[in-house]
């Protein structure tokens, strides 16, 4: 039995995971800004727990990897994992980066928690990878040593980005003087989609409306706004390039899992874009990448699944 938590920049989800039944109980979602610190949320959850408190805890936290002290990226929370364990009497406590947790979740996703986008080669062996465009662009890969899974958080969002078409070359010429460095999540993320829409409007000599990423996606999916369609197509193409580079960089050919809130809403649209072509067209590695199956993670809480199954 273990307390599992998914601590994001906005919400914290906590549940009791029962490995004997593979069941999550007493799942609660808390709004972080209503609490001064994470310990207050854990304390409130434990108070409401209708059964014995667990002695084991594993948490997925949206913060850079660290040893003991966690400093969250999008909140003013900072805490010591050792002090937290002592305070609540946890005999074991493991803290994961959010994408590290996503990596541990991959072998345990049920069929209804993932959707196959491209079949690849059935039974292809190898490491698994996850990439997630959202507020930024995170990633991780999962491999096994002596049968024990190990997930490694990575930063694909800060790797370099290069143009793959004449239109993208024009985009880069426009944006490079402004930003100096065109790294992946500058354009392949929620804010990046908004940047693409604005920049493409400039290239076309149009006064583009200031739209948030969700509205750009909505207009693209309905086909009502040609500029939004072009922006989302370009986003998908660049995402494909980033994913192909990420798979090659860490040798993950067993499967690619797309995480985050953007991809599950645009799956049919992605099928009509160059996403897959851009992912696999990597010279001599084309056939290898063409064999990689691609999935979209559709569950809203892969962090909890990863926290439930990560080795302690």
Separation between Cα atoms, residue 87 and residue 93, nearest integer Å: 12
Separation between Cα atoms, residue 112 and residue 270, nearest integer Å: 20
Token pair for 253: 């050919």
In the prediction, which pLDDT does 282 show? Answer: 97
Q: Are residues 7 and 129 both part of a single domain?
A: no
Residue 248, number of CB atoms within 10 A of its CB: 15
Separation between Cα atoms, residue 311 and residue 96, nearest integer Å: 11
Q: Are residues 256 and 138 both part of a single domain?
A: yes
Of 1, 7, 84, 6, nearest to 49 (Cα)?
A: 1
In the prediction, which pLDDT does 8 show? Answer: 86
Token pair for 161: 């980005």
| Residue 62 structural domain | 2-90
| CATH number, domain with residue 259 | 3.40.367.20
Report the number of distinct structural domains present in the chain.
Answer: 2
Separation between Cα atoms, residue 36 and residue 40, nearest integer Å: 7
Asked, for residue 56, whether it belongs to a domain, the answer is: yes
Q: Concatenate the DSSP letters of all residues of 107-158 into one string.
A: GG--GGGEEEEE--STT--S-EEEEEESSSEEEEEEEEETTEEEEEEE-GGG
Q: Are residues 52 and 83 both part of a single domain?
A: yes
Separation between Cα atoms, residue 142 and residue 124, nearest integer Å: 15
Of 5, 169, 143, 142, nearest to 72 (Cα)?
A: 5
Q: Are residues 119 and 154 both part of a single domain?
A: yes
CA angle, 98 then 103 then 107, to 5°: 140
Separation between Cα atoms, residue 245 and residue 251, nearest integer Å: 10
In the prediction, which pLDDT does 208 show? Answer: 87
Of 305, 306, 312, 304, nearest to 14 (Cα)?
A: 304
Q: Where are the alpha helices (DSSP H) in the chain?
A: 38-48, 81-88, 98-105, 166-179, 184-187, 190-203, 213-222, 226-250, 267-271, 275-280, 286-290, 302-309
Q: Are residues 123 and 235 both part of a single domain?
A: yes
Q: Concatenate the DSSP letters of all residues of 152-163 into one string.
A: EEE-GGGSB---
Asked, for residue 252, whether it belongs to a domain, the answer is: yes
Cβ partners under 8 Å of residue 166, min gap 6: none
Separation between Cα atoms, residue 61 and residue 233, nearest integer Å: 31
Q: What is the pLDDT along the chain (312 residues), one digit of tens a residue?
A: 999 999 988 899 999 999 999 999 999 999 999 999 999 999 999 999 999 999 999 999 988 888 899 998 778 899 999 999 999 999 999 999 999 999 999 999 999 999 999 999 876 778 999 999 988 899 999 999 999 999 999 999 999 999 999 999 999 999 999 999 999 999 999 999 999 999 999 999 998 899 999 999 999 999 999 999 999 999 999 999 999 999 999 999 999 999 988 999 999 999 999 999 999 999 999 999 999 999 999 998 899 999 999 999
| CATH number, domain with residue 11 | 3.30.420.40
**Which of 57, 90, 123 is at the close of a domain?**
90
Asked, for residue 215, whether it belongs to a domain, the answer is: yes
Burial class, 105, CB count within 10 angstroms (exposed 0-12 / middle 13-18 / buried 19+): buried
In the prediction, which pLDDT does 124 show? Answer: 74
In the prediction, which pLDDT does 121 show? Answer: 86
**Which of 90, 123, 146 is at the close of a domain?**
90
In the prediction, which pLDDT does 140 show? Answer: 96
Q: Are residues 71 and 133 both part of a single domain?
A: no
Q: Are residues 85 and 123 both part of a single domain?
A: no
Asked, for residue 101, whether it belongs to a domain, the answer is: no
Contact 275, 241 (CB under 8 A): no
Q: Are residues 156 and 272 both part of a single domain?
A: yes
**Which of 62, 90, 118 is at the close of a domain?**
90
In the prediction, which pLDDT does 69 show? Answer: 94
């Amino acid at each position: 039995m273990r307390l599992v938590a998914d601590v994001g920049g906005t919400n914290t989800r906590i549940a009791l995971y029962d490995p004997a039944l593979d069941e999550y109980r007493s799942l609660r979602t808390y709004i972080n800004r209503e609490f001064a610190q994470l310990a207050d949320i854990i304390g409130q959850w434990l108070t409401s727990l209708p059964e014995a408190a667990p002695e084991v805890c594993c948490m997925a936290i949206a913060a850079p990897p660290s040893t003991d002290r966690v400093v969250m990226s999008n909140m003013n929370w900072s805490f010591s994992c050792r002090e937290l364990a002592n305070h609540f009497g946890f005999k074991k406590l493991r803290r994961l980066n959010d994408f590290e947790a996503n990596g541990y979740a991959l072998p345990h996703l049920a069929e209804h928690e993932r959707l196959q986008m491209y079949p690849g080669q059935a039974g292809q062996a190898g490491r698994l990878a996850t990439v997630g465009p959202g507020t930024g662009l995170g990633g991780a890969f999962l491999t096994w040593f002596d049968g024990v899974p190990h997930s490694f958080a990575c930063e694909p969002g800060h790797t370099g980005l290069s143009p793959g078409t004449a239109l993208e070359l024009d985009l880069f010429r426009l944006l490079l003087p402004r930003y100096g460095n065109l790294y992946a999540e500058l354009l392949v993320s929620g804010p990046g989609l908004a940047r693409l829409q604005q920049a493409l409007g400039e290239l076309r000599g149009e006064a583009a409306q200031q739209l948030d990423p969700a509205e750009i996606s909505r207009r693209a999916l309905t086909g009502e706004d040609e500029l939004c369609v072009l922006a989302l197509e370009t986003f998908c193409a660049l995402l494909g390039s980033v994913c192909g580079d990420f798979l090659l960089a860490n040798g993950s050919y067993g499967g690619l899992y797309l995480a985050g809130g953007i991809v599950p809403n645009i799956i049919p649209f992605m099928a009509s874009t160059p996403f897959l072509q851009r992912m696999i067209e990597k010279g001599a590695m084309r056939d290898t990448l063409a064999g990689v199956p691609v999935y979209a993670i559709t569950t809203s809480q892969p962090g909890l699944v990863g926290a439930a199954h990560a080795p302690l």
